[in-house]
């Protein structure tokens, strides 16, 4: 007889007598519908998956701490997690690729997500960034279309280099991020070997009610390590889970990955005079103008005990800020404030923040009621179920009010002026690369573009030329080398090109009719 603590039960808690043999009429069957535990078992299996994230589906995560090493930043922010040297705040950090589905290989060239949940004493602060300080687009209108180009073509069900380069070449603001993606840092060896960035411009505010603009940086203490395309192909041939192996293995063996956390700070007055829009997600703030201020050290030291419960169900949203940290006019940030929380409502349900991994360590007291999976109780005060009330229910605390945010201008759809603005910073980056780094950049770009229609290649080379004519020439030469090599023909790209460029068959006369269509 099994020990009571180790006894198998139904989900309703009744001990199970037999978990091997179904109830049948005679030893040969058939089954009886009343074998409810069998039905329960099969039904549960059918429900084991939840919708994967549309973006950043493949991820790796671990728990750890932020330890404050300098309080210089406290002149700008009263956020409690920064207020004392030596102070520790628990955190969850999830890394991810952007485009690949949940089963995609880890060592693929792609931007990496770099998402924190800091469990602070004032509630959860989520900093949902990437391993790049910038992004491909600056307006959330373009985000769903951009992501569509990274996913499967509706007809071929293949990823489409033609669509990717068509979109990028029609969106010149992407050339900065494209340059990072196809440089060495676009394919790190593992999560430990890359920097993280909050990417957006956020704000700090202090007890005096002053607001400052800020950006967050996390520099790897393990050093940068990257794969070439060829090395990555070999790795993927052996293991599709190389990042999970790297991260889980390092923490398991006590080699705890660390990053140094920094911020850049800009005054509201300075923001009026920069040559670039400091709220544009395709731009960095040069370090020479806005130096990095040290904040603390991030250490990952605990692997999740259950991947699904603690990483797959982890819900990060830039909408989660705490006292002392605020938003900025950054359009992409504003868009994500809505869309991330909404993704979690859809994937996990209305009460996703009450799941253990998302639950703040600070006390929670709100009036959001009921709905699917309302599994938490009232705050011991069932009469206070609306607000304001006279029954001692949770009430607002004005000391947590943010100072006003200064904005100016008229509301309209502002088109970005065409000029050198999109090329200045990629030029600074390209200039920083050594000849060897430039060579690998050209090779990686050519490998990704080779085989797509020529008119798209020419349009994209036009953008590289605006960064620097030598950049465009380098990619052109690398493409010519590939053209000569029959071995580099890729069936996938042939199919993609045919699908994207053959005349559309869905004319009025030939369009397939779906059942019910008139």
DSSP lists the bridge partners of residue 266 as 213
* 171, two tokens: 């969106």
CB-nearer residue toward ligand NDP: 81 or 266 = 266
Q: Any residues with CB less than 8 A from the CB of 151 and at least 6 apart, and which?
A: 99, 159
| Among the listed residues 284, 314, 384, 456, the single contact to ligand NDP using CB under 6 A | 284
* Residues 148-207 contacting ligand NDP, CB under 6 A: 180, 183-185, 195
Burial of 336 (0-12, 13-18, 19+ CB in 10 A): buried
Nearer Cβ to ligand NDP, position 179 or 313? 179
Query: Applying CB under 6 A, which of residues 31, 362, 365, 428 lies at the interface with ligand NDP?
Result: 428
Q: Is the dihedral of CA 130, 134, 135, 139 positive or negative?
A: positive
Cα→Cα distances 190→291, 299, 311, 360, Å = 28, 15, 17, 29
Nearest to 187 by CA among 123, 133, 110: 110
**Segment near ligand NDP (CB under 6 A); pick from 156-164, 272-280, 284-292, 311-319:** 284-292
* Choice between 283 and 450, CB closer to ligand NDP: 283
Shortest Å distance, C-beta 432 to ligand NDP:
6
C-beta of 15 vs 439, nearer to ligand NDP? 439
3-state secondary structure at position 361: coil
Residues annotated as part of the active site: 56, 130
Binding flags for ligand NDP, 362-381, as an x/- string (CB under 6 A): --------------------
- In the complex, least distance from residue 15 CB atom to ligand NDP, rounded to whole angstroms: 57
Residue 443 CB partners (closer than 8 Å, separation 6+): 229, 478
Number of shown-chain residues binding ligand NDP (CB under 6 A): 16
Taking the CA atoms of residue 262, residue 266, residue 267 and residue 272 in that order, the dihedral angle to the nearest 10 degrees is: -170
Out of 429, 465, 482, 495, the residue judged to bind ligand NDP by CB under 6 A: 429
> Shortest gap between Cβ of 428 and ligand NDP (angstroms)?
4
| Residue 394 binds ligand NDP, judged by CB under 6 A | no
The token pair that represents 513 in the structure block:
């009719």
Q: Is 385 within any annotated ligand binding site?
A: no
For 165, the 3-state DSSP assignment is helix
Rule CB under 6 A: which of 9-68 touch ligand NDP? none
Interacting residue with ligand NDP among 148, 206, 286, 389 (CB under 6 A) = 286
Contacts with ligand NDP in 218-247 (CB under 6 A)?
Answer: 219
Compute the least distance from the CB of residue 65 to ligand NDP, in Å: 22
Task: Considering only the stretches 203-211, 285-293, 294-302, 442-450, report the one whose residues sit in contact with ligand NDP under the rule CB under 6 A.
Answer: 285-293
* 444-447, long-range: CB < 8 A, 24+ apart: 444/109, 444/182, 444/183, 444/186, 444/229, 445/178, 445/182, 445/475, 445/478, 446/475, 446/478, 446/479, 446/481, 446/482, 447/229, 447/482, 447/488
Query: Considering the complex, what minimum distance in angstroms separates the CB of residue 278 from ligand NDP?
Result: 12
Residue number with CB closer to ligand NDP (51 or 291): 291
**With respect to ligand NDP, which residue has the nearer C-beta, 100 or 426?**
426
Question: With b meaning 16 or more CB within 10 Å and e meaning fewer, what string describes 400-437?
Answer: eeeeeeeeeeeeeeeeeeeeebbbebbbebbeebeeee
Radius of gyration of the chain (CA): 26
Whether cis (ω within 30° of 0) applies to the bond prior to 176 is: no
Q: How far is the CB of 132 from ligand NDP (least distance, A)?
A: 8
Q: Enumerate the β-bridge partners of residue 202.
A: 214
For the CB of residue 224, give the shortest distance to ligand NDP in the complex, in Å.
Answer: 6
Give the side-chain half-sphere CA count within 13 A for 227: 20
User: Minimal distance in Å, beta carbon 287 to ligand NDP?
Assistant: 3
Query: Cβ closer to ligand NDP: 111 or 343?
Result: 111
Which of 44, 49, 155, 287 binds ligand NDP (CB under 6 A)? It is: 287
Query: Which of these, 335, 372, 4, 389, lies nearest to 139 by C-alpha position?
Result: 335
Closest CA relative to residue 81, chosen from 112, 119, 45, 54: 119
Map the footprint of ligand NDP across residues 73-102, applying CB under 6 A: none
Instruction: Round to whole Å and give the CA distance between 297 and 377.
Output: 37
The binding track of 106-145 with respect to ligand NDP, each residue x by CB under 6 A or -, is ---------------------------x------------
Segment lying near ligand NDP (by CB under 6 A), choices 282-290, 318-326, 401-409, 415-423: 282-290
Q: Scanning residues 435 to 494, which ones bind ligand NDP (CB under 6 A)?
A: none
Structure tokens at 44: 């549960």
Given 425, 440, 443, 463, the residue binding ligand NDP (CB under 6 A): 425
Residues contributing to the annotated binding site: 340
Residues contributing to the annotated binding site for heme: 340
Which residues in this chain contact ligand NDP in the complex, by CB under 6 A? 133, 180, 183-185, 195, 219, 284-288, 425, 428-429, 432
């Amino acid at each position: 007889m099994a020990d009571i603590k180790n006894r198998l039960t139904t989900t309703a808690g009744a001990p199970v007598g037999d978990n091997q043999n179904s109830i049948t009429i005679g030893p040969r069957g058939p089954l009886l519908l009343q074998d409810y535990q069998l039905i329960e078992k099969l039904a549960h299996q059918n429900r084991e998956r939840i919708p994967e994230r549309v973006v950043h589906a493949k991820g790796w995560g671990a728990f750890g701490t932020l330890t404050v090493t300098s309080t210089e930043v406290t002149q700008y922010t009263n956020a409690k997690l920064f207020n004392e040297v030596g102070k520790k705040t628990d955190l969850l950090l999830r890394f991810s690729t952007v485009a690949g589905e949940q089963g995609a290989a880890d060592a693929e060239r792609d931007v990496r997500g770099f998402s924190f949940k800091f469990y602070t004493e004032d509630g959860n602060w989520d900093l949902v960034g990437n391993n790049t300080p910038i992004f491909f687009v600056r307006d959330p209108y373009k985000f769903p279309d951009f992501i569509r180009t990274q996913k499967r073509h509706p007809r071929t069900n293949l990823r489409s280099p033609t669509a990717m380069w068509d979109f990028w070449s029609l969106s010149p603001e992407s050339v900065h991020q494209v340059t990072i993606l196809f440089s060495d840092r676009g394919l790190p060896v593992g999560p430990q070997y890359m920097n993280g960035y909050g990417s957006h411009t956020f704000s700090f505010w202090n007890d005096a009610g002053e607001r400052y603009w800020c950006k967050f940086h996390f520099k790897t203490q393990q050093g940068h390590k990257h794969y070439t395309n060829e090395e990555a192909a070999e790795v993927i041939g052996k293991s599709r889970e190389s990042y999970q192996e790297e991260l889980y293995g390092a923490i398991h063996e006590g080699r705890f990955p660390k990053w140094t956390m920094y911020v850049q700070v800009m005054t509201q007055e300075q923001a009026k005079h920069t040559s670039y829009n400091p709220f544009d997600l395709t731009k960095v703030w040069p370090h020479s103008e806005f130096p990095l201020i040290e904040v603390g050290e991030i250490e990952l030291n605990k692997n999740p005990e259950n991947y699904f419960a603690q990483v797959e169900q982890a819900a990060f949203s830039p909408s989660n800020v705490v006292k002392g940290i605020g938003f900025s006019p950054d359009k992409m940030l504003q868009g994500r404030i809505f869309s991330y929380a909404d993704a979690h409502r859809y994937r996990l349900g209305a009460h996703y923040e009450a799941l253990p991994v998302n639950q703040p360590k600070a006390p929670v007291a709100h009036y959001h009621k009921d709905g699917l999976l309302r599994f938490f109780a009232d705050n011991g005060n069932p009469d206070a179920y609306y607000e304001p009330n006279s029954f001692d229910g949770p009430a607002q605390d004005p000391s947590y009010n943010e100072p006003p945010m200064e904005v100016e201008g008229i509301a309209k759809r502002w088109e970005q002026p065409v000029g050198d603005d999109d090329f200045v910073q990629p030029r600074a980056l390209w200039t920083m690369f050594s000849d060897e780094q430039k060579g690998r950049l050209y090779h990686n770009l050519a490998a990704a573009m080779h085989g797509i229609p020529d008119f798209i290649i020419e349009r994209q080379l036009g953008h590289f030329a605006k960064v620097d004519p030598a950049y465009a020439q380098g990619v052109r030469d690398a493409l010519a080398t590939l053209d000569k090599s029959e071995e580099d023909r890729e069936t996938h790209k042939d199919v993609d090109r045919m699908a994207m460029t053959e005349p559309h068959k869905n004319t009025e006369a030939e369009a397939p009719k779906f059942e019910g269509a008139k």
